[in-house]
Structure 1
Amino acid sequence: MLGTPTDVPAAIATRLANGLFLSVPIFLGGVLNTTAVAAIAALRHATAPFIGWLIFEVVLGIVRLGVLLHGRQRVAAGGTPPRALAAWLSCVWAGSVGFGTFICIASSDWVLATIACLSAAAMVCGMCLRNFGTPRLAAVMVVAALLPCAAAGLLTSEPIMPVISVQLPVFMLTILSASFGLHRMMVSWMTAIGELERSRSLNETILQSSPDHTLILDQDHNIAFCKRPGKDAHDGDSLIGRNWLTLLPPEDRESALAALAKASSGKPVNLMTCHSTSSNEKRWFDNVINRTSDTSGRLIVVSRDITHQKKSEEQAIWMAQHDALTGLPNRALLQDRLDSLLATAGQSDSAAMIIVDVDNFKTINDSLGHDAGDALLCEIASRLAAALPEGDLVARTGGDEFALLVAARSNADVERIAERIYEGLRGPIMHAGRLLECGASMGASFIPRDGRDRSEIMKAADIALYAAKAGGRAQLRIFERAMMIEVERHQTMITSARLALQRSAIVPHYQPKVCLRTSRIVGFEALLRWHDRDGQLRGPDALEAAFDDPVLGTLLSDRMLEGVLDDVRIWTTAGIDFGHVAINVTSTDFRREDFVETICARLAERDLLPSCIQIEVTENVFLGQGADEVKHVLQQLSGMGIRIALDDFGTGYASLSHLNQFPVDLLKIDRSFIQQIGSSVDADAISSTVVNLGRCLGLEVIAEGVETPAQEALLRAMGCDTGQGFLYSRALPAAKVPAAISQLYDTQLERRRA
C-alpha cells in the first residue's frame, strides 16, 4: 500500500511514505468531522450501532493522533516512523467512515443520511489530498469509505437511492484518477526539486573547492555574483555592484574591454592580468571569460591566481640563463647579449669580448678538492663583477672559464679593463685556512672588427686566449689575424695526424748511431715518418701539435712502438746485428698508467729482450709536473734492462742533480752545439764539458747532427763515444737497414783513408 506506481529514487519514496505524518490540519479535520457526524447520529438515534460508532471514532481518533505525533518525532529525529501501523489505522478509519454512512442511510433518516453522505464525500477528498504520496493507500481508503455507501443505496426502500450506487463508483474512479494524477505530478516535482538541489549542492561544492575567483557580470560589466576562494558563495561580498574593469590595472583595461566584447559574441577568451596588492606585491591572474548559457547576456569570469606559476616560470628562466654555482649569467644569456650587440653594432668597434681562463685550476681541484675549486670560482666571479662597471656583462661559460662583454673601442680600453681585473685578482683568497693561488689568462676580441656573427667573435677570443696560455699564462692577448694562422696550422697538424693514423701511414725510419772509435754502427734511433695523401714522405714536424694531445700522442707512440718492435723482430730472426733501437718518449706517454706494462707486453709478444731498445727523453720531461711519476717509470724501465738516454742535453733547464736522481745511461749533445763546433769557442767548450761530464759519471755520450768530417774529428779528439747525423746517413726505411749496417763501415773506412 505504501509503494508508488512510479519508479522513484529511494529518498523521494521515503519522503512520500512519510506523508502519513504530515498535514495535521487535514488529519484533525477528518477525525473531528466523523466524530461530529457520529455524535449527531447517536443523538438522533440512541441505538447501539450509533453509540458504538461514536465510541469507536473517539478511541480510534485518539490512537491515530498518538501514532501521528510519535511518527512526526521520529521523522524529525531522522529515524523510521511506524508507517505500516499508521497505514492500517488509516484504512480502519476509512472503513469506520463507510460503516457510519451505511447505517445512516439504512436508518431512513434522510436528514442524517444527507449529512453522512456529505461528510463521507468530504472525507474521501481529504483521503486523496492527504495521501497523494501513497496513492494505493488512498485507493484502499476510498473503497473502504464509499463501498458501504453504494451497498446501502441498493438495500434502501427509497426508489431514488439506487442512483447513489451508480454514482459512487463513478465518483471513486474520478477521484482516484485525480489522486494518481496528483501523485505523478508531485513525484515529478519532487524529482525535479531533488535534481535541482543536487545540482545546486554540486555547484556549491565545486565553487567551495575551486581555487578560482568566479564572477558573473551583467551587461554593463558590473559584478552581479562573486565567489572568492575560502568564502561561501552566499556571503555578501564587497565587490558586488562594482564594475569589473575598475578592478584591473589601467594598462590592462583596454585589452580587457576587447576581451569582454569578444566573449559577448559567444567566443571564449583568455586574458592575463597583473594586480598589485597593498604591500606592492604583484599577483598574476589567468582570466577565462565566457557568455552564460541563458539569454541574459551576462558574462562569467573565472580568474585563477597563477602568481606561483609565474614566479616558477621566472625562476626557471633565470636558472636556464644563469650558472647555478656562481649566480652569473651562463652561455645562453651571453650569446643572447652578444647577438644583440652585433645587431646594433656600427662600423667602428664599440665593445669587446674577453674570455678569462683560471690558471692551474685543475691542480687546485686535484690537490685541495672540489670544494676549494668551487670556492675559488665563486670568489673570482665576485671579483670579476666588481672590476666591471654597471652595464657590462660577466658570464660563466663552463668549467674554469668566464666571458666578459665590455664597452671598449681600442686596445688601450681592453688593457685598462684587464689591469683592473688583474688588480682585483691579486688579493689573497682563503679557503679552509689555506691560501688559494688565483691567476688567469685572458683573450680578447673586438665587436664587430673580429666578426659579424657570434661564432666568429667567440672563436677570435678563444684563439687569443690560446695564444695567451701558450705564451706563458697570466697575461692578456688581443686577437690578431696572425693568431688565426697559427691556430689553423695547429688544427692542420691534428687533422693530419688523425688521417695518418686512420690510413696506417705512420712508418718508422732509422738513423744509424756510429761508434767514433771503430766507425761501426752500434744502434739506431727510430724517427717518425708518414706518407701524406699525395704519397710524399713527411717528417714529424708536420704533426708536432698532435704529440701534445693526450689521445693522439698516445696513439702515435703506440703506432711507432708497434712498428719498431715488428722491424726489430724481423732483424733478430734474420740474425742481423743492429745493436739497439732508441725510441723517443714524450711527457704524454709518462702520463699513461699502463706505459711500462704496454712496453713489457709488446716485447713479450715478439719474444724480444728489453736490451734491444733504448728510451730517449728530453730534459723538459724531468721538469714537468709529475716528476716523481716520471722517475718511478724510468726506474722500472731501467730495472728491466732498458737503457735511458737524456736527449738534447744542454738546451733545457735540467740541473746536474737530475743526472743523479734519474736513471740516465746516455747523454745526447744537442745538434745546435755540434753545428757550431770548430767555429764557436762556446760550442767547443760546452761539447767538451758534456763529454768530460759523461766520462766522469760513467755515461755514454752521443753527438747529434754530425754533418762534416771536421766535426767528427773534433768530437773524436774530445773523447765522444758515438756520433749520429747526415755524415753517416739520413733516416732509412727498415728494409734498407741490413744493407746499411754492412756498407756504412766500409764507407767510413774509405773516407778516413781519403
Structure 2
Amino acid sequence: MTVMRRGFPASGWTAMPSSHCIFDAARRTDRVIIYVQPFPLTRLTEWLLDSRTRVPAVIADQLKNGLFSSLPIFLGGVLNATAVATIAAWRHPSGPFLGWLLFEIGLGLVRMTVLIHGKKRMAAGMTPPRGLSAILSCFWALSVGIGTSLCILSGDWILATIACLSAAAMVCGICLRNFGTPRLAATMVFLALGPCAVAGSLTADPVLPVISVQLPIFMLTIFSASFALHKMLVSWMTALADLERSESLTETILRSSPDHMLILEDDHRIIFYNQPEGGLAADTLIGRNWLYEMAEEDRPAAQRALDQARANQPATLILSLMPDTALAPELRKPRWFDIAINKTSDASGRLIVVARDITHQKKSEEKAVWMAQHDALTGLPNRALLQDHLDETLANVGRDMEAAMLIIDVDNFKTINDSVGHDGGDALLCAFAERLRAAVGEGDLVARTGGDEFALVIAASSVETVEQVAQNIYDQLRTPIDHGGRLLECSASIGASFIPRDGRTRSEIMKAADIALYAAKTGGRARLRIFEPGMMVEVERHQTMIALARQALTHDTIVPHYQPKVRLRTSQVTGFEALLRWRDHEGQLRTPDMVRAAFDDPALGSLLSERMLQKVLDDIQNWTRIGLAFGNVAINVAGADFRQGGFADKVIRSLNARQLPPSCIQIEVTENVFLGHGAGDVERELRALSDHGIRIALDDFGTGYASLSHLTQFPVDLLKIDRSFIQRIGTSTDAEAITSTVVNLGHCLGLEIVAEGIETAAQESYLRDINCDVGQGFLYARAMPAEAVPACLAQSETAGQIAKAG
C-alpha cells in the first residue's frame, strides 16, 4: 500500500509503507489519498478467476463460486489422483512416488477443509476464500502433472498407462468443474499436461515423444472448448438472470397493481388469476367459468365484450359483481369493476381480462349525485330534483287534475333565527322538514328549495285533497319545536297550484304556486291559498311597482316636492313636508302610489329613503345659501330605515357635511313604526336624532295601533292628525270630537299639532277655533318643486302682512 499526499507535483510524491503513514491533521489540511497495491499473489488469483467476457457482478460471483460446487467431481479428482499415487508408490516405493502420495493426501485434506469452510461462508451470505481455493487447485493440477510425468519416465508402461488415463479423466473433470473460470481451467490443464509433454520428450522410446506434440494440440483444443463453454454459460446465465429479473418485475407489478388480472381459455374458463392483496384467494376462481361469476342480466353484455375482444378489438365494460356466497355476510357486498378485455398476442386465442375495482369511485359518484340532488341540512330533495320530478309528473298526467304542487314558507323565520341564533334556525328547519314528511303520503315528494322555503308534489285530484294535506301540516306544526329546552312556535304560509290545470310546463306550475304563496302571505300568513287567475294581476302590479322604483333609482328621476305647512293663527308658511315624486320614461311626473310596493321591500325602500334624504338636504342647502327663510322640512322615514341601524348617524353626518343646523329638518314616522320586534332600535335612533336637536313628528295619528304610552316612551315633538278625520269635519260629529280630543291631548303633553288634508275654509275655521297649531292641505297649496318654494314663501309673506293689516 502506498500513501501519497495531494498538493505536491507528481514528481515529488513520496511513497512509503502504509504502516508509516503518520501526519498531524491539526497542522495539515491537505487531503490524503491512499492507494492500495495488491500483493502479486492476489493479482494472480484475481487474474485466474476473471475472464475477458464482461458480465454483471452477480453472475461473476456465481461463476467464481463454482470452485465450491460440483462436490462429486471434486472428490473424484482428489480420490483418483490419490489412488494413482498409491499405485505408483506400491509398484515403485521410491522417494519421489512416496513424496507424491503424501503430498496428494495432505493437499486433498487441505482442499477439502477449504471447500467445507467456503460452503459455510456462502451459506452465511459471505464471500468464500476463492483465491486460496484457486491456488490450491493449481497446486493439485501441478501435482497431477508431475506425478504423471514421473510415471511416464519410470519405464513401467502399465503404471504410465494408468496415470495417463487418469490424467485425461482429471483434465475432463477440470474443464467440467471450472468452465466458469476459463483462465483457471486453462492454467490447471496446462499444469496437468505440460509436465507430461516434457516427460514424453525425455523418454528413450522413439514413439513416446509423439506425446509432446499431441498434448499441446490437445491443450489448445481444451483451452478453446473451455472458453467457448464459458462464453455459452455466461450467455445462458445472463439470459436466465434477465428472465428472473423480468419475472420478478412482473410479479412485483402484479402484486403492486390495484387491478384483478385473469386469463381465459376459449370456453371462458379461468386459467390464471392474480388478485391484489387483501382479496379472495386466487385459486378460488381457477377453472371456473368467468361468465357465471356475474349476475345473469349482465352476461349478455359480458359475452359481447368477449366476442369483440376475440375479434382483436379491445373491449371495455363496467359491471357489478357479487363475491362468493361462501364468504362471511359482511364480505358479500356487490362491488363495481371497470373491465378491459384484450386478446393475447400469441396463437393460443386466450383473452386477458383486467378488472379494476371502482366500488369506492362508484360510491363517491353516487354520494356526489345524491349531494347534488339533496339539501345538505335537512336531507330533503333540492330544487334540481324537484324540477326533474315535476317534469316527470307533467309528462305522465292526463287532462284532469291528478297532482298538486305546494310551496310552503316558514312565517317570520328571520325573526326566529335572529332570536335563537343560526343553530336554532337550523334545528327548526330540520324539525319542520320532518313534520312535512309526516304530513304527506308515501309517494309524495317533499323538497327544500332554499332558505325557509319548501315544496311538495302530492297526488291530488281535488281541492279537498290539498286542503286536507294543508290541515295535516298545520296539525303537525301545532306542537312547538323544542330546541335546547326552548319552545319555538312555528307557522307556515302555503301556496298551491294544480297539475296540469294551472300549467303544462314546470315553470308555469311553480309560478302559479309562488303567486298563491304571495297571496297567502299578503293575506295575513299562516294560511293556504290555491292559485286563481285573478292573483296574477296583483302579482304583476307588485312586480311593476318594484321595476318602476328600480328604474327611478337607476336613472335618478326621483324629484322631491314640497307641500307648505301654514300657521293657522297667522296664515304664514312655517315649513314644508317633502313628498316623493318621480318621472317615468315619458317624463311624466308620478306620485308614490305607483311604486308603493317598493317601500315594503327592505333593501329597495331603504334606497328610496336615502335618495330622498340626500336630495332634500341638497335643496335645503341651496335655500340656505340664498338666505331663504323656509322654516323646516319634514322628511318621512319608514321603520325599515331604523332597523338597519346607523340611520341617525347617517342623517347627522349628512347635515354636518352641508353645514346645516338640525332645526332645518323634522323626521316624520307613523304609529306602526313603534310596533314589532324593532321598537327598541327605533327608540334608540329617534333619541339620537332628538338629542341632536332634530324634532320628531308622529304622522297619521289615530289610524294605527299605537297606545298613548308611546307618546311618552318615544321622543315625539309633533302630532299630525290624519286627513281621514279632517275631511269629515262638518259632516261627522265623531270626527270632530276625535280631532278636538287629539288637539287637547297634544297640548296637554306639550306637543305641536298639525292637521293634514285641509281643503275647505270651513275645515280651517274649525281647526283654528279648537286651537290647532298648523294646517296642511290643498287649501293652501299642492306639493311643488324646489324651484317654486321661493315664490310660495314670498306669497305667504304678503298674505301674512295683509292679515296683520286687516
TM-score in same-fold range (> 0.5)? yes
Any idea what the Cα deviations from partners look like across 1:11-69, whole Å, max 9, x if unmatched?
22222111111112212222222223333333443433233222222222222222222
Question: RMSD of the alignment, in Å?
Answer: 2.4
1:403-458 CA deviation, whole Å, 9 max, x = no partner? 11111233333222211211121123222222210111111222233333323322
Question: What's the offset of the Cα at 1:711?
Answer: 2.0
> Is 1:437 aligned with 2:483?
no
| Selected match of 1:23 from 65, 70, 91 | 70
Identify the residue that residue 301 of structure 2 maps to in structure 1.
255
CA distance in 2, matches of 1:669, 1:231: 88
Q: Which one of the candidate residues 290, 313, 317 is aligned to 1:267?
A: 313
What is the deviation of 1:230?
4.4
Q: Does 1:239 align with 2:291?
A: no
Q: How many residues matched?
A: 753
Corresponding position: 1:524 with 2:585: no
Residue 687 of structure 2 corresponds to residue 635 of structure 1: yes
Match of 2:588 in 1: 536
Cα distance in 1, alignment partners of residues 166 and 138 from structure 2: 17
Shift of 1:747: 5.7
Residue 700 of structure 1 and its aligned partner are, at CA, apart by 2.0
Q: Report SS of the residue matched to 2:789.
A: helix
TM-score, normalised via structure 2 length: 0.89
* 1:244 aligned partner, one-letter code: W
Alignment partner of 2:402 out of 350, 357, 369 = 350
Checking the alignment, whether the CA contact within 8 Å between 1:519 and 1:749 is kept in structure 2 is: no
Q: Distance in 1 between matches of 2:795 and 2:771?
A: 25
Q: Which aligned pairs between 1:157-306 and structure 2 lie closer than 5 A?
A: 157-230=204-277, 237-276=283-322, 278=325, 279=329, 281-306=333-358
Who is 1:9 aligned against?
56
SS at match of 2:230: helix
Runs (5+) with no aligned partner, structure 1: none
TM-score (norm 1): 0.95
Is the Cα–Cα contact under 8 Å of residues 4 and 13 in structure 1 kept in the other structure?
no
Q: Does 1:661 align with 2:713?
A: yes
What is the match of residue 310 of structure 1? 362
Matched, 1:545 2:602: no
Q: Which runs of structure 2 are paired with 1:364-383 in the superposition (5 Å)?
A: 364-383=416-435
Note the C-alpha offset of 1:556: 1.9
Q: Which amino acid in structure 2 is aligned with residue 201 of structure 1?
A: S
Separation of aligned partners in 2, 1:230 and 1:616? 81
Partner of 2:12: none
- 1:580 is displaced (CA, Å) by 1.2
Deviation at 1:753, TM superposition (A): 12
SS in 2 for 1:691: helix
- Conserved in 2, the CA contact under 8 Å of 1:728 and 1:744? no
Whichever residue aligns with residue 216 of structure 1, its letter is: I
Q: Is the 8 A contact 1:587 1:621 kept in 2?
A: yes
Equivalent position SS for 2:355:
strand
Shift of 1:527: 0.9
2:119 aligned residue:
72
Report what 1:624 is aligned to: 676
Instruction: Give matches, 1:68-217, under 5 Å.
Output: 68-217=115-264
For residues 116-148 of structure 1, the C-alpha deviation after alignment (integer angstroms, 9 at most, x for no partner) is 333222221111111011111001101111222
User: Residues 151-178 of structure 1: CA distance to partner in whole angstroms, max 9, x if unpaired?
Assistant: 2233333333333222222211111111
CA–CA separation in structure 1 for the residues paired with 2:614 and 2:683: 24
Q: Which runs of 4+ in 1 moved over 6 A?
A: 748-754
What corresponds to 2:11 in structure 1? none
Change (3 A) 1:204 1:685: same
**Counterparts in 2 of 1:331-480, with a 5 A limit?**
331-480=383-532
Q: Distance in 2 between matches of 1:577 and 1:203?
A: 102
Counterpart CA distance in 2 for 1:570 and 1:121 is: 136
- 1:544 partner letter: R
Distance 2:605 2:309 in 1: 72
Q: Distance in 1 between matches of 2:171 and 2:419?
A: 108
Q: Conserved in 1, the CA contact under 8 Å of 2:275 and 2:282?
A: no
Conserved 8 A contact 2:571-2:803: no
Deviation sequence 1:511-565 (CA, Å, 0-9, x none): 1111222111111111111222211111222222222223322222222222222
Structure 2: unaligned runs, 5 residues or longer: 1-47
- Percent identity (aligned): 67
2:283 aligned counterpart, secondary structure: coil
Alignment of 1:469-618 (within 5 A): 469-618=521-670
Residues 751 and 422 (structure 1 numbering): CA distance in 2 closer, same or farther, change over 3 Å?
Answer: farther
What is the aligned partner in structure 1 of residue 768 from structure 2? 716
Within 5 Å, which residues of 2 pair with 1:26-45? 26-45=73-92
Q: Distance in 2 between matches of 1:236 and 1:446?
A: 60
Q: Greater CA deviation, 207-216 or 628-637?
A: 207-216
2:649 match: secondary structure: helix
1:49 to 2:96 alignment: yes
Give the whole-Å Cα distance in 1 for the aligned partners of 2:683 and 2:91.
145
Deviations 1:265-302 (A, max 9, x none): 33333333323454463333333333334322222333
Q: Does 1:324 align with 2:371?
A: no
* Matched AA of 2:535: M
Does the 8 Å contact 1:263/1:299 carry over to 2? yes
Instruction: Classify 1:60/1:114 alpha carbon distance in 2 versus 1 (closer, same or farther; 3 Å).
Output: same
Structure 2 vs 1, CA of residues 67 and 592 (structure 1 numbering), >3 Å: closer, same or farther? closer
| AA aligned opposite 2:319 | T
Letter in 2 for 1:615: I
Task: Look up the SS of the partner of 1:647 in the other structure.
Answer: strand
Corresponding letter in the other structure for 1:250: E
Conservation of the 8 A alpha-carbon contact between 2:410 and 2:490? yes
Structure 1: distance between partners of 2:581 and 2:201: 142
Over 3 Å counting, the alpha-carbon distance change for 1:507 and 1:210 in structure 2 is: same
The alpha carbon displacement at 1:210 in A equals 4.3
